[in-house]
Amino acid sequence: MEGTIKRNWEYICNHNKEKTKILGDKNVDPKCEDNENNFDFSVMSYNILSQDLLEDNSHLYKHCQRPVLHWSFRFPNILKEIKHFDADVLCLQEVQEDHYGTEIRPSLESLGYHCEYKMRTGRKPDGCAICFKHSKFSLISVNPVEFYRPDIPLLDRDNVGLVLLLQPKSPCAAFPVICIANTHLLYNPRRGDIKLTQLAMLLAEISSVAHQKDGSFCPIVMCGDFNSVPGSPLYSFIKEGKLNYKGLAIGKVSGQEQSSRGQRILSIPIWPPNLGISQNCVYEVQQVPKVEKTDSDLTQTELEKTEVLVTAEKLSSNLQHHFSLSSVYSHYFPDTGIPEVTTCHSRSAITVDYIFYSAEKEDVAEHPGAEVALVGGLKLLARLSLLTEQDLWTVNGLPNENNSSDHLPLLAKFRLEL
Ligand code: KL2
């Protein structure tokens, strides 16, 4: 009988401006009860390994005992895990459509979740789901994102994202809406050009969804399987809000593996103008048709939009985005420096899954002077610790008898403060 490995809750103390301190697993839950000033909620990000992909890539699971690979064995375990952690929001990846309709959605609904789903385009029938507790949130909007664009040769892959706007339900006070995004970026380690463009498209959608009337952004949580490792250019871009990609090889963007192929240098710009996304990762204002309309036919706002287009961005190798995003996990165990892993099978054991969030001001002292927009802040209260590769091989890697995906679930508790 294989053992289970205990994952501890790490409670985070961040009310000083120094480095975040971990209070450790003393079960000192700082009483996470909502009141008129606080709204607490938890988020899980989990790539549950679609059965079709498991079967298509069976060489990755040779280390597993056959029976643990059957969906009929895996699904009850995954559901048990979801039920046990009882997160208020679930961001799931590799959710296979047939299983979603017949088992996943009905089971999650009976646990009190409202479920939204975006299937990949093309032939692979899996996708991303965001599910949230009825008791905690009401749904404001659902915004699916397709990264496939028939008119743009670069964007010939079928990955997707999903962005929800949720209204916290609290009897005590009116809290601002929050934006929850989920994605599963392209796997191909050599195609960093596509991965970066997919990320830019997701960020543009988040900007548009999270944008508020006063010009600021509501709090943001961005989860997913980014198929990129910590410290890679794609990861750094998310965290720093900027990336100079001049001279960067497309195979080096995600840092998944040292490959001799995929060494073409990223072109400047990476994606063509007809994508309609600026180098700042926001949607560009659509060109106002110049024919047929005279100036007097244009409204004032249309004239302003035309001006924005005239002062077009200079071509440079700099990407930017407007959010200041922190990662829930720090990717290395502080005492040993050993890497955390979020996925483990016979070919690799690395971090590719993340929960990013817009941190409240005192957490963002690491970006002094950075040009970030006013973004609503969340406080990270706790996270469920990850494991090392060695930990996982003591239970025969993933999936195993108890952990039924080749990824671990990531879990964070946040506080929204008025
Ligand atoms: O790395 V993943 O697993 O986030 O866990 O994302 C992709 C890979 C997922 C969706 O495309 O399927 C897996 N070698 C290894 N894994 C692959 C491959 C491959 N050639 N193709 C797809 N996946």
pLDDT digits (tens, 9 = 90+) for 361-401: 754 445 555 556 788 899 999 999 999 999 999 999 999 99
Pocket test for ligand 1, best of 48, 51, 55, 57 (most atoms within 8 A of CB): 57
pLDDT at 249 over 70: yes
3-state class (DSSP) for residue 319: strand
* Ligand 1, atom 21: closest residue by C-alpha: 187
Predicted confidence (pLDDT) per residue in 260-294, tens digit: 676 899 999 999 999 999 999 999 986 555 544 44
Distance CA 162, CA 116 (A): 9
pLDDT of residue 258: 73
How many separate helices (H) and strands (E) can be counted in the chain?
8, 18
CB atoms within 10 A of CB 400: 21
| Residues 287/288/292/295 CA torsion (nearest 10 deg) | -140
* Ligand 1, atom 10: closest residue by C-alpha: 187
Predicted confidence (pLDDT) per residue in 210-233, tens digit: 999 999 999 999 999 999 999 999
b/e string for 62-98 if b means 16 or more Cβ within 10 A? Answer: eebeeebbebeebbebbbebbeeeebbbbbbbbbbbe
Pick 299 or 178 by higher pLDDT.
178
Which has the minimum average pLDDT: 10-14, 120-124, 255-259, 295-299?
295-299
pLDDT of residue 25: 52
* Ligand 1, atom 14: closest residue by C-alpha: 57
The residue among 5, 6, 23 whose CA lies nearest residue 380 is 23
Nearest ligand 1 atom to alpha carbon 47: 5
Mean pLDDT of the chain: 89
pLDDT at 1 over 50: no
* Ligand 1, atom 11: closest residue by C-alpha: 187
CA 369 to ligand 1 center in whole angstroms: 39
CA 56 to ligand 1 center in whole angstroms: 9
Which residues, judged by CB distance below 6 Å to any ligand atom, belong to the binding site of ligand 1?
Answer: 47, 53, 57, 60, 187, 225, 227, 343, 352, 406
pLDDT of residue 40: 97
Read off the tokens for 142. 């659902």
* Ligand 1, atom 6: closest residue by C-alpha: 187
Beta bridge partners of 326: 357
List Cβ neighbours of 323 (8 Å cut-off, separation of 6 or more): 203, 206, 217, 220, 241, 358, 372, 373, 375
CA 53 to ligand 1 center in whole angstroms: 7
Q: Is 396 exposed, middle or buried (0-12, 13-18, 19+ CB in 10 A)?
A: middle
pLDDT of residue 367: 52
Predicted confidence (pLDDT) per residue in 167-186, tens digit: 999 988 899 999 999 999 99
Distance CA 82, CA 103 (A): 14
CA 187 to ligand 1 center in whole angstroms: 5
pLDDT at 312 over 90: no
Nearest ligand 1 atom to alpha carbon 93: 4
* Ligand 1, atom 15: closest residue by C-alpha: 57
Nearest ligand 1 atom to alpha carbon 49: 5
* Ligand 1, atom 16: closest residue by C-alpha: 57
Distance CA 287, CA 284 (A): 9
CA 115 to ligand 1 center in whole angstroms: 25
Pocket test for ligand 1, best of 46, 51, 53, 147 (most atoms within 8 A of CB): 53
Predicted confidence (pLDDT) per residue in 154-166, tens digit: 999 999 999 999 9
In order of 114, 124, 181, 263, the CA distances from 130 in angstroms are: 8, 19, 8, 35
Read off the tokens for 89. 């929001």
CA 340 to ligand 1 center in whole angstroms: 19
